[in-house]
Structure 1
Amino acid sequence: AASPHRRLFPLVLASLVAFAWLTLWAWTRSPYGRYLDHGDRALTEPFSALCRALPGGALWLPAAFAAAGWTLMILAMMLPTTLSLFDAFARVVASRPDRTRLLALVGVGYVAMWSGFGLVAHALHGLLLTGVARVPALAWRGWLIGAAVFALAGAFQFSGLKTHCLDRCRTPYSFVISRWRGRAPMRHAFALGVSHGLFCVGCCWALMLLMFVVGAGSLGWML
């Protein structure tokens, strides 16, 4: 029979996912909903005034908003896909007294990897906007950028790297067994979550990047 911890953890995970969805829903319906998109927030008020008032605000404040929105989206949409990973890891560490903490660290590592990818994508998006602003030819032919990203995302779906990453995501128990050492349990649990997140990013990075181009990170396009 499943232990109380194994029965309780899916409920905790579901509660976290529900909280993320409710927060996103409330954010999109609030006066600050436009800041959830990855458009040029610095051009809107009062965001631009706040960026000017804070030291270095034009750099880190948009990144902070992007990280918050992106992390909520990851919690809402990607965290449910890790249930099989958590179940496999819970079976491996079932006899350990610190199993709850280790499960939490796996989740933190997974979300940290996706959040890091979101920040990188945000930075690339900012560089792209800067390039378009400085090169008029790009502004007039912006559709070429979207077409190139579409083509890249489509081609990647048939690549060997995509298949390799997908195989790791589809076999969570083998993944856990091959990577869990337990000699430094907290560090290894976090690293296991990061590793699994890395393979998930490897599966989905092209499609996620596509969302930055065509959907600007909006919930409608992400779904």
Structure 2
Amino acid sequence: MLRRSQLFAPLFVALTTSAWIALWMWDAGPYARYLRHASWAELPLVGALCRAVPGAGLSLAALLHSLAWLLMIAAMMLPTAFPLFDTFRRMTSGRENQGTLMALLIGGYATAWALFGLAAHGFDAVLHRVVDQSPSLFGDGWLIGAAIIALAGAYQFSSLKHRCLDKCRSPLMFISEHWRGRSARRESFLLGIGHGAFCIGCCWALMLLMFAVGTGSIGWMLALGAIMAAEKNFRWGRSIGTPLGVGLIAWSGWIVLQHVVTA
């Protein structure tokens, strides 16, 4: 009979694979556009509920966006944090409540990304409303996309990104600094939130690209997930930042040049 330690990696792979399959099926189905920028209120049944219950539209949209975002995070970001989870599993192997502590750690990590997702979706919704109400901005909406891409490129060279990346690349040191095991449940949850915050610190600009190209693009999610996993988990990951930053800035410049030439 396999020990729980031997089952951890296969179960983790199964969880991540299930998230990717769910996203792929959603993207291939009739409701694919609701994974992107379309209004959740247009969905059958959901739209009727939004119209029938005062204030339900905003809260329900936030809930559905959060669920979709957490599914994306499970697919994209959990693999990048596997070294943390595996190191924590080994450090708590002698505890009877190890499963609970692991669940709290993952829950804290997901909570940090869920809060970021709510903030990002809120900013995206406000930005779309401003653009829709401004004829000049609507016509030059490509400028916003170019600015987001340039910001993501410039952030690759920032010291803040590299400090956060150092924290993500050293899971054993991070756990030793933030987990004592005295209040094990609380510390496990806070450890997940703390690591999630540093993970956001090194990846937020790349994640914003999802809003520039469409949050439901499976191809983009695969590409960005692979880049972020390589940055954190491989020795050569540090070498990605410079060419990636240059490439993104060049892409932004090409978008601007293309529109200027064709204007």
TM-score by length of 1: 0.91
Matching residue of 1:132? 131
Q: Could you tell me how far 1:58 is from its partner in structure 2?
A: 2.2
Q: Which amino acid aligns with 1:181?
A: R
Q: Which amino acid aligns with 1:97?
A: E
Structure-1 separation of matches of 2:161 and 2:92: 30
Q: Which amino acid aligns with 2:116?
A: F
**1:151-162 residue pairs with structure 2 within 5 A?**
151-162=150-161
Matching residue of 2:207? 208
Q: Which amino acid aligns with 2:185?
A: M
Matching residue of 1:29? 28
Q: Which amino acid aligns with 1:151?
A: A
Matching residue of 1:69? 68
Structure-2 separation of matches of 1:75 and 1:194: 15
Q: Could you tell me how far 1:209 is from its partner in structure 2?
A: 1.0
Change (3 A) 1:41 1:213: farther
Give the alignment's Cα RMSD to 1 decimal.
1.9
- Tell whether 2:89 aligns with 1:90: yes
Q: Which amino acid aligns with 2:4?
A: H
- Tell whether 2:20 aligns with 1:11: no
Q: Which amino acid aligns with 1:185?
A: A
Matching residue of 1:183? 182
Change (3 A) 1:43 1:135: farther
Q: Which amino acid aligns with 1:141?
A: D
Q: Which amino acid aligns with 1:52?
A: R
Q: Which runs of 5+ in 1 are unaligned?
A: none
Q: Could you tell me how far 1:83 is from its partner in structure 2?
A: 1.6
Structure-2 separation of matches of 1:150 and 1:121: 15
Matching residue of 1:113? 112
Greater displacement, 88-97 / 177-186: 88-97
Q: Could you tell me how far 1:52 is from its partner in structure 2?
A: 1.3
Q: Which amino acid aligns with 1:67?
A: S
Structure-2 separation of matches of 1:85 and 1:22: 24
Change (3 A) 1:44 1:138: farther
Matching residue of 2:216? 217
Structure-1 separation of matches of 2:72 and 2:3: 29
Greater displacement, 24-33 / 80-89: 24-33
Structure-1 separation of matches of 2:43 and 2:135: 22
Aligned residue for 1:95, secondary structure, equals coil
